[in-house]
Amino acid sequence: MDVGAREQIVHDEIETCPYLDGKRARMPLRWQLGEVRGLALDQSLAAGDRRVGRMLYRTSCPECHACEPIRINVEHFRRSRSQRRAARRNQDVRVLIGPASFTQEKLDLYNRHKFERGLAQKETAMTRRGYDGWFLQSCTRTAEMRYMLGERLIGVGIVDVGLMDTSSVYFYFDPDESRRSLGTWSTLVEIEYLRRRGGRFHYLGLYVGDCRHLSYKARFLPHERLVDGAWRRFDGTASSG
């Protein structure tokens, strides 16, 4: 079914929620017939969209509104004490930024991250075709951040880049380096990347308070969350929002 000249719905079903047990989810996938770049991407992110491959989606669940898009105003953001510690732990890590691309090393690292951290109990290993379709066949400008310890790849971040805003698509890392808090560190790197470009909002994806894999995002303060159709500021105080 066509939903406009620029996109087409290719999947729209009620399914098991990937974030909360016992919940049902609806996330229509909209195939992008053209490019979504610059200001168009900024506007899409502000409306709550996420990207996977050449598709955009946003939650439209029948019974639950736990998923809240979350973003950081990079000029207002301040690192917490624990985030500063994470930065110090990774002073020996080099970050190389360039176009997103495929290597077998990246695919192997992605699969280790998913299986060794218990994130893929019901999934099979990602293939090259899946990796290309998930991350590289983008409808927008997509950058890749490689995290190197010496000559060893220990993390990869996929980031979409708009006119003024960026969006963290996915980050995976070497489970043997968990003590480094690489997930926190990568978010700090992405925020600083946008700040240096003179940008505005860095989108972290979805926040779900009762999902431990997503609730950590609220530690980046101040931040804004899309609640009931409006962006609300949270600064960690009881009265924020």
Counting residues of the chain whose pLDDT is more than 90, the rounded percentage is: 89
pLDDT category of residue 62 using cuts at 50, 70 and 90: confident
Mean pLDDT for the stretch of residues 116-139: 86
**CA gap 23, 214 in Å, rounded:** 16
What pairs with residue 208 in β-bridges? none
pLDDT at 238 over 70: no
Mean pLDDT for the stretch of residues 51-73: 95
Residue 1 has what pLDDT? 40
Residue 240 has what pLDDT? 55
Quickly tell me which residue has 């053209």 as its tokens: 34
CB atoms within 10 A of CB 154: 19
Quickly tell me which residue has 């969350």 as its tokens: 225
Residue 123 has what pLDDT? 74
**CA gap 224, 70 in Å, rounded:** 6
Work out the mean pLDDT of the chain and round it to a whole number: 93
Phi, psi for residue 42 in degrees, rounded to 5: -55, -45
Residue 239 has what pLDDT? 45
Alpha-carbon distances, residue 158 vs 98, 105, 167, 205, 222 (angstroms): 10, 15, 9, 12, 23
* CATH code linked to domain 70-234: 3.40.630.30
**CA gap 48, 199 in Å, rounded:** 18
pLDDT at 14 over 90: yes
Q: Long-range contacts for 26-29 (Cβ within 8 Å, ≥24 apart)?
A: 26/59, 26/60, 26/61, 26/62, 27/57, 27/58, 27/59, 27/60, 27/61, 28/57, 28/58, 28/60, 29/55, 29/56, 29/57
Using DSSP's 3-state secondary structure scheme, residue 19 falls into coil
Counting residues of the chain whose pLDDT is more than 70, the rounded percentage is: 94
Residue range 172-230, pLDDT digits in tens? 999 999 999 999 999 999 999 999 999 999 999 999 999 988 999 999 999 999 999 99
pLDDT category of residue 106 using cuts at 50, 70 and 90: very high
Mean pLDDT for the stretch of residues 113-134: 85
DSSP state of 47: T
Using DSSP's 3-state secondary structure scheme, residue 90 falls into coil
Distance of CA 36 to the CA centre of its chain: 17
pLDDT at 122 over 90: no
pLDDT at 47 over 80: yes
Residue spans per domain, the chain: 2-67, 70-234
Q: pTM for the whole thing?
A: 0.93
